[in-house]
Amino acid sequence: MNPRNHLVFLMIIIFIKLLLATTSSQGTTFHFSSLSLQNLTLLGDSYLRNGVVGLTRETGVPSSSSSTVTYNSPITFLDRTTNSTASFATRFSFTVNNVNRLSSFGDGISFFLSPDNKTLGSSGGYLGLVNSSQLTKNKFIAIEFDTRLDLHFNDPNDNHVGLDINSLNSIKSADCASVNVDLKSGNLITAWIDYWHDGRNLKVFVSESSKKPIYPILDLNIDLSLFLQEVMYLGFSASTEGSTETHFITNWSFTSFGIRHVKPRITNPHNVTDNTVSKKNPAIEVPIDRSKHHKKFGLAVGILGPLFFCSILVVFGFISFKKWRETKTDMNIQAELLTGPKQFSYKELKAATNGFHSGRIIGHGAFGSVYKAVSDKGATAAVKRSKHSHEGKTEFLAELSIIACLRHKNLVPLQGWCVEKGELLLVYEYMSYGSIDKVLYQESGHLGFLKWAHRYNIAIGLASVLAYLHQECEQQVIHRDIKASNVMLDANFNARLGDFGLARIMDHDKSPVSTLTAGTMGYLAPEYLQYGKATDKTDVFSYGVVVLEVCCGRRPIEREPEGHKMINLVDWVWELHSRGAICDAVDKRLNKEFDPDEVRKLLLVGLSCTNPDSENRPSMRRVLQILNNESDEILVPKMKPTLSFSNSLPLSIEDIIVSFSDLDEEDASASLVVPTTRIDS
């Protein structure tokens, strides 16, 4: 956009603001530190006691129950006259408990928006939202906090959060264990739900503390205006079926904003017509000294006018400079890559992804979303699209500058790029089977294909590409974010390392640079958490975790099946090694169809790479030689070594940043855990 167009654009904005001077932004705000019947309507089995709403029966014997509680006044969410939709934010605290621990849990609680205040569904898995005999009768937008695994509604487990719209089949759900929350713990749980209409974005946060988490458990782009009505009621619902589970709401806050209402033009404020005023007694008008009014108006114009136009010039200059700088950056990128990967046009990538349709999303990362693209000739590719223009550009340039000059059979091939319309796009070869973690944990149909030979080959391929990055490139590349979700599988189940958004280039003879800690918990080396120094040995540690993950079929950090204790994969395998039973760690789904010697070798390689002492970890070249039977195995101590750090942390807790690359996946390893000053076996 040239400077003249900038000025025209600014004048249009000013004109629109003047036109909207007759409008006002209205919203609703309330805060209940304790609840009362003055503001709420209770239906079904709900009740109020000491400022707390109980949503299901509190009995000592299993029963079926269903109830709702709604805010008395309807809230305006849509104004068709001004075509504006409300954004909103709500915060509430609740507990889910069971007076009889021997009884089963179920079914959960929900926050909902409904076009009427008579919503009351059936008990059981219907959460008090849906009638069992008329599943499509009730209309609602709800966030469910589900404590029952109901396969009929495609629930992922019995401890999840999900977005429901007119159906209990969630549009998207997430495991609460990924943020260390157990809905059934009986602890006070606080939830935050934020919907920003302009960004078409909904975020849900949950925590067992009153402090709002940094990262949401649910984060999805959706336009709720398609489902919102002009006025809707807010409320909560809950249900049980054959259990003694109880549900309580202890406090509730809500605010909405962004609705514009046109103010009616009032030509006669008192609604007085000529017929209602007697002609015999005409009203006496008080004369007004208009000269004083004109003087004041002229003085205001004389003072505010120059300030107004100076402000316009400042804004115009800032926008023009910013646009010039962005254009220069884009031209520099294009100049540097003329001989590199292909430059795609934004138009063809948009067409290939069906307008970046949400149905084409195949993954999420720190950089943004990944879309499946199909060209008009039938060729398939993966397109990474930036999530934030400023932060995304930094990672985009990092990934582009690194990947463009790398060549290895175990890297995800970069096919091209695009910088247009404020978008940053990378085009990669499409990987048929997605990432390792999807094959191991989500897409059970692939389990039959991922035989032991495939797993061992994955470990060799990943070791080969890391040896290349660490020791064979002209400049050493430290990936910094090696994990199962960043290792892709091609059509032949060969490992392909991707996502270089956090990578750093270093000279081979230079010392490691201290940076803010970035990566994913469970894969981070202890010295990296402590000092923030990324080296080739921190990549080796992450590689070791991935190897153990592939061999054992378990996440780096996961909850015990029948308890609340979190299990660290490295510690678990090391404990089996200390008992001389390391091969017991192999994935049981392999049904003993594997080579015991290879299993033992791969598990010992994984432990040697995850040694707490970075000096005792092997190089990736040595690992590759061991796996290819070109070098002797490394002696791994029976007991996990202990490692002591200094008592003073060089980084503050606020400086430790964790990159959540897959927010939509049930990944308990993605939660941030503050490192202690000592790591024990």
Task: Supply the mean pLDDT for the chain.
Answer: 77
Are residues 111 and 258 both part of a single domain? Answer: yes
Are residues 127 and 176 both part of a single domain? Answer: yes
Are residues 418 and 440 both part of a single domain? Answer: no
* 3-state per-residue secondary structure call for 324-381: HHHHHHHHHHHHHCCCCCEECCHHHHHHHCCCCCHHHEEEECCCEEEEEEECCCCCEE
Given a cut of 60, whether residue 59 has pLDDT beyond it is yes
Domain C-terminal end among 238, 262, 286: 262
Given a cut of 90, whether residue 45 has pLDDT beyond it is no
409-413, 462-466, 504-508: the lowest-pLDDT one: 504-508
Range among 4-18, 467-481, 605-619 with highest mean pLDDT value: 605-619
Given a cut of 80, whether residue 293 has pLDDT beyond it is no
**pLDDT tens, 95-142?**
998 877 656 677 899 999 999 887 787 777 788 888 877 777 888 999
Are residues 448 and 575 both part of a single domain? Answer: yes
Is 311 inside any structural domain?
Answer: no
Pairing between β-strand 231-243 and β-strand 84-85 as defined by DSSP bridges: unpaired
CATH code, domain with 49: 2.60.120.200
Segment 312-332 shows an average pLDDT of 64
Is 203 inside any structural domain?
Answer: yes
Is 273 inside any structural domain?
Answer: no
* Chain-centre distance for alpha carbon 249: 26
Given a cut of 50, whether residue 275 has pLDDT beyond it is no
Is 281 inside any structural domain?
Answer: no
Given a cut of 90, whether residue 481 has pLDDT beyond it is no
Give the pLDDT of residue 563. Answer: 66
Is 72 inside any structural domain?
Answer: yes
Give the pLDDT of residue 592. Answer: 87
Give the pLDDT of residue 674. Answer: 31
- The pLDDT confidence band at residue 172, using thresholds 50, 70 and 90, is very high
pLDDT higher for 578 or 331? 578
Q: Which residue range(s) make up the domain with 558?
A: 436-679
Q: How many domains does the chain have?
A: 3
Give the pLDDT of residue 651. Answer: 41
Residue 241: CB atoms within 10 Å: 20
Given a cut of 70, whether residue 186 has pLDDT beyond it is yes
Rounded to whole angstroms, the Cα distance separating 46 from 65 reads 9
127-141, 221-235, 372-386, 582-596: the lowest-pLDDT one: 127-141
Segment 487-503 shows an average pLDDT of 81
Give the pLDDT of residue 597. Answer: 93
Domain C-terminal end among 229, 262, 295: 262
Are residues 531 and 450 both part of a single domain? Answer: yes
62-71, 327-336, 588-597, 628-637: the lowest-pLDDT one: 327-336
Amino acid at residue number 13: I
Residue 363: CB atoms within 10 Å: 24
Is 126 inside any structural domain?
Answer: yes
- The pLDDT confidence band at residue 416, using thresholds 50, 70 and 90, is confident
Is 576 inside any structural domain?
Answer: yes
pLDDT higher for 389 or 270? 389
- The pLDDT confidence band at residue 165, using thresholds 50, 70 and 90, is very high
Give the pLDDT of residue 23. Answer: 40
Give the pLDDT of residue 546. Answer: 96
Range 573-586 burial, b when 16+ CB lie within 10 A, else e: bbbebeeeebeebb
Are residues 447 and 556 both part of a single domain? Answer: yes
Are residues 378 and 514 both part of a single domain? Answer: no
- Active-site annotation holds for 481: yes
- The pLDDT confidence band at residue 69, using thresholds 50, 70 and 90, is very high
Query: What 3-state class would DSSP assign to 524?
Result: coil
Give the pLDDT of residue 326. Answer: 57
Segment 450-474 shows an average pLDDT of 91
Given a cut of 70, whether residue 281 has pLDDT beyond it is no
Which residue matches tokens 């879309």? 371
Of 178, 172, 175, give the one whose Cα is nearest residue 202: 172
Beta strand spans in 99-137 (E): 108-114
**pLDDT tens, 356-375?**
888 888 877 656 788 999 98
Are residues 87 and 223 both part of a single domain? Answer: yes
Report angle CA 594, 599, 605 to the nearest 5 degrees. Answer: 155
73-87, 319-333, 586-600: the lowest-pLDDT one: 319-333
Are residues 355 and 499 both part of a single domain? Answer: no
Torsion (CA) 472, 476, 480, 482 in degrees, nearest 10: -10
Give the pLDDT of residue 53. Answer: 93
Is 643 inside any structural domain?
Answer: yes
Given a cut of 90, whether residue 540 has pLDDT beyond it is yes
Task: Identify whether the C-beta of residue 330 lies closer than 8 Å to the C-beta of residue 350.
Answer: no
20-29, 278-287, 417-426, 502-511: the lowest-pLDDT one: 278-287
Are residues 106 and 251 both part of a single domain? Answer: yes
Range among 36-40, 231-235, 242-246 with highest mean pLDDT value: 231-235
Domain C-terminal end among 429, 445, 473: 429
Give the pLDDT of residue 622. Answer: 95
**Which of the residues 79, 158, 481, 539 is marked catalytic?**
481
Given a cut of 60, whether residue 177 has pLDDT beyond it is yes
pLDDT higher for 645 or 490? 490
Cis peptide before 164 (omega within 30 of 0): no
Are residues 603 and 550 both part of a single domain? Answer: yes
CATH code, domain with 357: 3.30.200.20
Give the pLDDT of residue 335. Answer: 46
Given a cut of 50, whether residue 26 has pLDDT beyond it is yes
Given a cut of 60, whether residue 253 has pLDDT beyond it is yes
Given a cut of 80, whether residue 658 has pLDDT beyond it is no
pLDDT higher for 174 or 655? 174
28-32, 33-37, 119-123, 611-615: the lowest-pLDDT one: 119-123
Of 612, 465, 444, 646, give the one whose Cα is nearest residue 538: 612
Are residues 440 and 407 both part of a single domain? Answer: no
**pLDDT tens, 596-614?**
999 999 999 999 999 999 9
Rounded to whole angstroms, the Cα distance separating 470 from 492 reads 25
Give the pLDDT of residue 261. Answer: 62
Give the pLDDT of residue 369. Answer: 84
- The pLDDT confidence band at residue 670, using thresholds 50, 70 and 90, is very low
Query: What 3-state class would DSSP assign to 440?
Result: helix
